[in-house]
Amino acid sequence: MAAPLTLLLIVAVTIRAVLFRSSWAELISERVEVVSPLNAWKRVVEGLALLDLGVSPYSGDVFHETPFMIYLFHFVVDYAEIVFMIADGITAVALYLSIQTYNKNVFRKQKYALESDRYPADCLELLRSPKEMFYIPLKVAMFYLLNPFTILSCVAKSTCGLNNAIIALFILCTLKGSALLSGILLALATYQSIYPLTLFAPALLFFLQRLYIPVNLRRSSFWFFTLQYAFIYVGSLVVITGLSFFLLGSWDFIPSVYGFIFSVPDLTPNIGLFWYFFAEMFEHFRLFFICVFQINVFFYTIPLSIKLKEHPVFLIFMQIAIISIFKSYPTVGDVALYMAFLPAWSHLYRFLRNIFLVSCVLLACSALFPVLWHLWIYAGSANSNFYYAITLLFNFGQILLVSDYFYAYLRREHHLTHGLYLKKKDGTEATLVLK
């Protein structure tokens, strides 16, 4: 399997290299869908210039990257294009290996269950064969590397690609079972953009499951491991933040990075839900609505963790998707990360209800973003409402996609325990309702 993966990497790198050299690169790096104030390359360059002049990069309101990022690019700014290509490569390989591991686990579990006759007789067709699972890791890597969203994001040199690499490595370490590395990487991802904080729950659930520790609040082993993992996580977060302080010698970066993420002062249009609302809103309700909007990202963690506590990997997927929908400055790079997981759930295909509608909506929206932007900004004939309508539709499509997969996943699990052809008590065919 290494050969196709290598080939895929070569193709992906070639596409990116060609685009980097073409005249499109500049155009792409200006698109609001691809770069946000948080991760635009222009701003990184600005921050580097300030750093070289001996001024704090956070003075002024341009630079919002973390100190680590700026020191990374301080050394490799001349090779930025290669760094971004490598980051994409790392993400793809990490996803490839994680899904491979995950599939092995799933298959082993399925085999045990099958041997102990736990599946109802009519569910055999729902089981997954090794043959169809063989290509899934490759497809995942392909979905990430050849996704136009990823390519755009990489060519625009949006630092979103690096954040994705960190999250992908975190997933790999988690699935490989290394609590220490997983905790450190999760801390790093949190440090980069805060929102991956919600991935703490699925990672913890995964380790608990792996070590056969039941999720029981009265068991000391549960608390012991939870505290251990939380300690790794919080510890490394503190260490990283402390290091940043020593690098720059000031705490400037806290308000400038995290304050910027939470309070959403920059209302440049993007594919997210925030900008239009906060541009239209009365100033004295701002705090309240910021809380409401930001809680969205974190709120779903609890019910989802309870519902999906047996399936932490699917929970990771759901969390990443929710982050990319509800975060304050989303870009298409974030969308690309969770879309890479879709092939891993290809066995849910038969339970999906709206996949045609959703793919049409997402496709049409992706094409309409630049068109309406042109009409609004250049032609002056449309206005922000048109653009926001497409943003809304795009997010509606994403939410529908995620909830469709969620429903399909739960439904398959239900069938695996209760049999495929469900009957009501009176013998008619029953339909499942998601509650």
Are 312 and 203 in contact by the 8 Å Cβ rule? The answer is yes
Per CB under 8 A, contacts with another protein among 316-355 are 350
| Binding characters for another protein, 388-407, by CB under 8 A (x = yes) | --------------------
In whole angstroms, the minimum distance from the beta carbon of 263 to another protein comes to 31
Torsion over CA of 176, 178, 183 and 185, rounded to 10 degrees?
A: -60
Q: State both tokens at 47.
A: 């921050």
| Binding characters for another protein, 348-387, by CB under 8 A (x = yes) | --x-----x---x--xx--xx--xx-xx--xxxxx-----
| Binding characters for another protein, 107-146, by CB under 8 A (x = yes) | ------------------x---x-xx--------------
Q: Which is nearer to another protein, 264 or 372 (CB)?
A: 372
> Which of 325, 319, 320 shows the shortest CA–CA distance to 304?
319
Q: Which is nearer to another protein, 292 or 363 (CB)?
A: 363
Using CA atoms, how far apart are residues 328 and 261, in angstroms rounded to an integer? 6
Q: Which is nearer to another protein, 126 or 247 (CB)?
A: 126
Using CA atoms, how far apart are residues 241 and 181, in angstroms rounded to an integer? 17
Helices vs strands, H then E, count in the chain:
21, 0
Q: State both tokens at 391.
A: 């943003």
Q: Which is nearer to another protein, 144 or 373 (CB)?
A: 373
Q: Which long-range contacts does 294-297 make (Cβ < 8 Å, 24+ apart)?
A: 294/262, 294/328, 296/326, 297/195, 297/198, 297/322, 297/323, 297/326, 297/327
In whole angstroms, the minimum distance from the beta carbon of 356 to another protein comes to 5
Per CB under 8 A, contacts with another protein among 11-30 are none
Count of residues near another protein by CB under 8 A: 20
In whole angstroms, the minimum distance from the beta carbon of 364 to another protein comes to 5
Q: Which is nearer to another protein, 75 or 378 (CB)?
A: 378
Burial (0-12, 13-18, 19+ Cβ within 10 Å), 296: middle
Q: Which is nearer to another protein, 13 or 375 (CB)?
A: 375
Q: Which is nearer to another protein, 282 or 378 (CB)?
A: 378
77 scored as a contact of another protein (CB under 8 A): no
**3-state per-residue secondary structure call for 337-353:** HHHCCHHHHHHHHHHCC
Which spans of this chain sit near another protein (rule: CB under 8 A)?
Answer: 125, 129, 131-132, 350, 356, 360, 363-364, 367-368, 371-372, 374-375, 378-382
